[in-house]
Chains A and B, each alone.
Chain A
Amino acid sequence: AAGVIQSPRHLIKEKRETATLKCYPIPRHDTVYWYQQGPGQDPQFLISFYEKMQSDKGSIPDRFSAQQFSDYHSELNMSSLELGDSALYFCASSTGYNEQFFGPGTRLTVL
């Protein structure tokens, strides 16, 4: 069965650079979520989209933005990267409010 696809799987950036993470949800899933998991921490919800519109917002810094495109894939744009942005970024998808299926994550390292 198709799963959530995230790219890239690993990303290394310097401070103050920009990064773009991509998420391709499971086909026919209409909702995409982004989570950030820092070292030794719980996953923290960042933002979600339902039918290409932002549906919920969590602890997403102003330096980050995200959008969902017409093909339902989503991109998380991160600017002015800081050391503290180093984390595992998970994307998940669902149909409505049902269980979320997670992608493999993108590990971002900021040097």
Chain B
Amino acid sequence: ILNVEQSPQSLHVQEGDSTNFTCSFPSSNFYALHWYRWETAKSPEALFVMTLNGDEKKKGRISATLNTKEGYSYLYIKGSQPEDSATYLCAFPLIQGAQKLVFGQGTRLTINP
């Protein structure tokens, strides 16, 4: 069984601080990695889809890097704001061309004002 693991499971950060967390995935047979942001009582929101080793993507204060050889992706948030509080999920397709995503358990980020 191939698993996606995210760490830490939970993170509390002071407003204004920067933070990062990890998504680990099997490095063999890599096809793509998705990052989603999921706020309580809302639906998951796509952040990034990353496909190439060394990819770095940015959206405002959020950025992500990808290392397919060692099987990890980092998500960085610079200057955390209360609205960044959410669960951040990574997911990847198990089989090339497959549409179903295997999700990690997420990192629940809480920004303390």
Residues of A within 8 A of B (CB): 4, 31, 33, 42-43, 45, 48, 50, 55-58, 90, 92, 94, 97-105
Question: Is chain A's interface secondary structure helix, strand, loop, or mixed overall?
Answer: strand
Is there an interface contact between A48 and B43, defined as CB atoms closer than 8 Å?
no
Closest chain-A Cβ to B43's Cβ sits at a distance in Å of 4
Residue interface bits B34-66, CB-to-A below 8 A is 1, else 0: 101000001111101100000000000000000
Q: When the two chains form the complex, which single residue of B46, B93, B98, B103 contacts A101, counting CB atoms closer than 8 Å? A: B46
Chain B stretch 64-79: residues in CB contact (< 8 A) with chain A = none
Q: Which residues of B contact A98 (CB under 8 A)?
A: 49
B28 to chain A, nearest CB (A): 19
CA distance A4 to B51 in the complex (A): 25
A97 touches B97 (CB 8 A): yes
Distance of B88 from chain A, by nearest CB (Å): 13
Task: Determine if B43 and A97 form an interchain contact, defined as CB atoms under 8 angstroms apart.
Answer: no
- Does the CB pair A99–B46 fall under 8 Å? yes
Within 8 A of A (CB), among B88-113: 89, 93, 97-106
Q: Is B13 an interface residue (CB 8 A)?
A: no
Smallest CB separation, A21 vs chain B (Å): 14
User: Is A104 touching B100 in the complex (CB atoms < 8 A)?
Assistant: no
Interface contact B105-A42, CB-CB below 8 Å:
yes
